[in-house]
Chains A and B, each alone.
Chain A
Amino acid sequence: MKSKDLYKQLSDKEILDRYRQSNDRELLGILLQRYTILLLGVCLKYLKNEEEAKDAVQQVFSKVISEIDKYPVDHFKSWIKESLLDLLEGAIKEIQPNQQQCISLFYIQKKSYRQISEETGFSLMQIKSFIQNGKRNLRLLITKKWNKNAS
């Protein structure tokens, strides 16, 4: 077992370089664990549910582990955040098209209910319902995905 203190002074990039040279997964673990508490906080901010946030962090870690050898990563912190966004983007693609469209117009393009209504022809009530249900389904999907990965 390597002493974690030994790596405390090293930057993410230095640890990542050592991992790439040695392929020692313990180094990858040390690197990821640097971000557990931070990432948990980020997921909590958006998901507002401790169990769901925990699942999301685990899923991000799984993604990082499976993809780290495929891509050259210079800025590990940004890459972790990108992985979280990929996870969300993937889940958004799986919800119903109406919910997907309304969530995208509302949260990404920052349009008002009225603008969305003009663009899609949905009533204001329908839009609100699509966004609410879409958000709920997104959370369910993220949790379900992790449970599937874990089993």
Chain B
Amino acid sequence: MRHKLLDILTRKEGPIDNEALAKYLSEKLDEVARHEVEKQLMEGSEFEDDAWEGWQYAGKGPNLLKHAEDINKKLQQQLHPAQSKRKRKAIKDFPLGWWVYGLIIILVIVAWALISFLMG
């Protein structure tokens, strides 16, 4: 037991696994895993201390993770602007394409009905 006292003085360098953090914030970890995340946070720097206090303000959970997801999406758009524009264009074009197909089908049906009416 005594050797565990040295753990108190440990400092951790580097980031904490994001997946574990997300699970921690959405209360999806058991107590052992929660302790591991909290230990990593405790062994981190002032940065981690501040972050933990901030999460308490937001009430943890879904909102916080949704915000993080939004930020990451915007980050991707910023890092790959051309790709995002292409995606947006594809999304815009998709319904237009279906409108055109629909209109052509309706015109064919109307034309067929008109021809049938005139012939008959």
Contact = CB atoms under 8 A, between A and B. Distances in A.
Contacts of A38: 15-16, 21, 47-48, 51
A37 B75 contact: no
A29 B81 CA distance: 13
Interface stretch (B28-36, B57-65, B90-98, B104-112): B57-65
A40 B25 CA distance: 13
Given A25-B80, A45-B57, A58 B74 contact: yes
B10 interface: no
Contact of A61 (B63, B64, B78): B78
A115 B70 CA distance: 44
A91 interface: no
Contacts of A48: 57
A75 to B, nearest CB: 9
A26 B57 CA distance: 31
B103 to A, nearest CB: 35
If over half of B's interface residues share one DSSP class (helix, strand or loop), that class is named, otherwise mixed; here it is helix
Nearest to A41: B51
Interface in B62-87: 63-65, 67-68, 70-72, 74-76, 78-80
B50 A42 contact: yes
Given A36-B71, A37-B25, A38-B47, A43 B17 contact: no
Interface in A1-49: 8, 11-12, 25-26, 28-29, 32-46, 48
Contact of A77 (B15, B72, B74): B15
Contacts of B58: 41, 44, 50, 53
Given A29-B76, A37-B64, A50-B67, A81 B47 contact: yes
Interface string A38-79: 111111111010100110011001100100000000000100
A142 to B, nearest CB: 15
B63 A50 contact: yes
A11 B14 contact: yes
B7 interface: no
A65 B78 CA distance: 9
Contacts of A50: 58, 63-64, 67
Interface of B: 14-18, 21-22, 25, 45, 47-48, 50-55, 57-58, 63-65, 67-68, 70-72, 74-76, 78-80
